[in-house]
Amino acid sequence: MRNTLLLLLLTLGTACLSAAEYHYDFGREARAVYGDILRLELDLAEAGIQRLKHTEPRNLAAYHLESYVDFFRLYLSGDEGLDGQLARRFDQRVAILEQGDSSSPYYHYALAEARLHRCLIELRFERHLAAFRQLNRAYKHLKDNVTRFPDFLLTYKDLGLLHAAVGSIPPQYKWGVELFSSLTGTIAQGRKEMRRALADEGSPFYLETQVLYAFMELYLADRPERAYQTVKPLPLRPAENNLHLFVRANLAMRTNRNAEALTLLEKQQRGGTTADFPYLDFLLGQAKLRNLNPQARLHFKSFLLRYPGRHFREEALQKIAWSYLLQGDEATYRRTMAEIEGGSRDGGDENAIREAAHDRPPNLNLLRARLLFDGGYFTRARAELDKVNMATLTAEEQLEHRYRTGRVLDGLGDHAGAMSFYERTITLGRDHPAYFACNAALQAGLLQEKKENWKAAAQYFRTCLEMNPAEYRVGLHMMAKAGLDRVAGKKK
């Protein structure tokens, strides 16, 4: 009995000593690895992580950095085959991080980051239950950190994003958060917390925090111009760094700066030792197509050759088909659309699948108007709509014409005219499977929100949420729910 007790005490003492030996030191070597990751030099970063594990075997910063590497490998490639291997590494990484010193603020922070990275991967591969579980666990780590270390500002980077994001979760997914988590929050709360994180200017993650804040402004706060202006002065080098390029080009395309996006994307790094980023060619194809350049298809074809994932493939094929249609080649348009098979529930893919099921190509003037509007070429888009012979349109095309006219008038600053066409689109298309009425309600809500007509904005956002189109539903509902969150409690 005495020997057994002695052995037990010795074992417990060793375990406590082992845990205490683990630490988190984001020193010079760790910062160099983090820099490699943000340049997408993932193989170089992996080698640096292995060196760090060898030279500083108790430094858990190596495992935190490893989480970034695995996230980028999976998110850039969309490779679900690779996911099986990296999912096992995730489990091993969490087990090691859990042996860390729980008296350190980095203990819960590193675990939360690992789980949030995993949550985003689960969402990408449409495994929503697994994503909600990881989200719940990450949130618990962050909440605990705020309680125990309220002045540890890095916590608010992730917590701010979660609190803002929960305000945009549409009703059909709200059950997942409620089932697995006590997570609540608003966009206003998230923005406040993110601004608090931005006070930590000495953090090695400071640039990352600034970019995440800008993207929160873009996607959740519906302040695209503020997001663009937030990123513009940052020390980003898009000609040398493809991740920086993605940030700048994405914001340019979302703020009607298509020419700027084209210039940026044409200068992307190709080859070399950086991780392949095929989605940049997808964006370049989009930018060219929005200026009605049929050579856009070369970039979509490049994307399809290099991207092993199942998302964006149907949309890429659809846009290749459009490039042929713009040149009057309907036969090749039809052959290309026939290659669309399904397999993704991403909004753009859903739209492509629905179009492929039709036996009629889109009206060419409506297609040109759609593309030109997306590029911010509002006057040219209006000219295309004016050319349309309404008598030749199907009922769905007439609905689309009303919707696109509203969007173009909105872009041109004719808000009264835009509202008139949005209203007509909602009335006529409320029960139609196309997304036109649902987005018209969303855009009407956004327009009323800008005018500070909060009650009217809320009603349009609710109208959007009441509709269930066959395409873009999740994205539209997320934006409507975010809009409702923003105008809640405001009176006018």
CATH number, residue 142: 1.25.40
Long-range contacts at 360-363 (CB < 8 A, ≥ 24 apart)? 360/394, 361/325, 361/330, 361/333, 361/334, 361/337, 362/322, 362/325, 362/397, 363/388, 363/392, 363/393, 363/397, 363/400
pLDDT computed for residue 184 by the predictor: 83
pLDDT in tens, 385-419: 999 999 999 999 999 999 999 999 999 999 999 99
**Do the domain assignments include residue 211?**
yes
**Do the domain assignments include residue 368?**
no
In order of 103, 105, 486, the CA distances from 59 in angstroms are: 15, 14, 42
Query: Domain range for residue 215?
Result: 18-219
In order of 4, 95, 358, 432, the CA distances from 354 in angstroms are: 70, 44, 7, 13
Domain tally, the chain: 2
Amino acid of residue 101? D
Amino acid of residue 249? A
- Last residue of a domain, which of 219, 240, 259? 219
pLDDT computed for residue 492 by the predictor: 60
In order of 18, 89, 343, 436, the CA distances from 106 in angstroms are: 17, 20, 40, 47
Residue 240 and residue 41 in contact, taking contact as beta carbons nearer than 8 Å: no
Amino acid of residue 58? R
CA distance 448 to 421: 14
pLDDT computed for residue 169 by the predictor: 78
pLDDT computed for residue 1 by the predictor: 43
**Do the domain assignments include residue 306?**
no
**Do the domain assignments include residue 167?**
yes
Hey, how many other C-beta atoms are within 10 angstroms of the C-beta on 175?
11
Q: Kindly report the pTM of this predicted structure.
A: 0.92
pLDDT computed for residue 176 by the predictor: 65
* Residues 6 or more apart in contact with residue 244 via CB below 8 angstroms: 236, 237, 238
**Do the domain assignments include residue 271?**
no
Which two structure tokens, joined as six digits, stand for 107?
Answer: 């203990």
* Residues 6 or more apart in contact with residue 444 via CB below 8 angstroms: 419, 422, 423, 426, 460
Question: Residue 413, by phi and psi: left (phi above 0), alpha (psi -120 to 50) or beta?
Answer: left
pLDDT computed for residue 168 by the predictor: 81
Which two structure tokens, joined as six digits, stand for 98?
Answer: 């859990």
Residue 163 and residue 188 in contact, taking contact as beta carbons nearer than 8 Å: no
Residue 23 and residue 59 in contact, taking contact as beta carbons nearer than 8 Å: yes
Taking the chain (492 residues) in runs of 10, the rounded mean pLDDT of each run is 42 43 92 97 98 96 98 95 92 96 95 96 91 92 97 97 85 66 84 96 96 94 95 96 98 97 95 95 98 97 96 96 97 96 82 90 97 98 97 95 98 98 97 96 97 96 95 93 90 63
pLDDT computed for residue 4 by the predictor: 45
**Do the domain assignments include residue 435?**
yes
DSSP state of 203: -
pLDDT computed for residue 453 by the predictor: 96
Phi, psi dihedrals of residue 23, rounded to the nearest 5°: -150, 175
Any idea what the CATH number is for the domain that residue 422 is in? 1.25.40.10
CA distance 20 to 23: 7
CA distance 192 to 203: 18
Length of the chain: 492
Residue 425 and residue 400 in contact, taking contact as beta carbons nearer than 8 Å: no
Which two structure tokens, joined as six digits, stand for 313?
Answer: 């493939």
Phi, psi dihedrals of residue 182, rounded to the nearest 5°: -100, 20
CA distance 462 to 114: 35
- Last residue of a domain, which of 181, 202, 219? 219
CA distance 114 to 94: 7
pLDDT computed for residue 180 by the predictor: 59
**Do the domain assignments include residue 365?**
no
- Last residue of a domain, which of 172, 193, 219? 219
Residue 459 and residue 488 in contact, taking contact as beta carbons nearer than 8 Å: no
Closest by CA to 294, choosing from 367, 373, 356, is 367
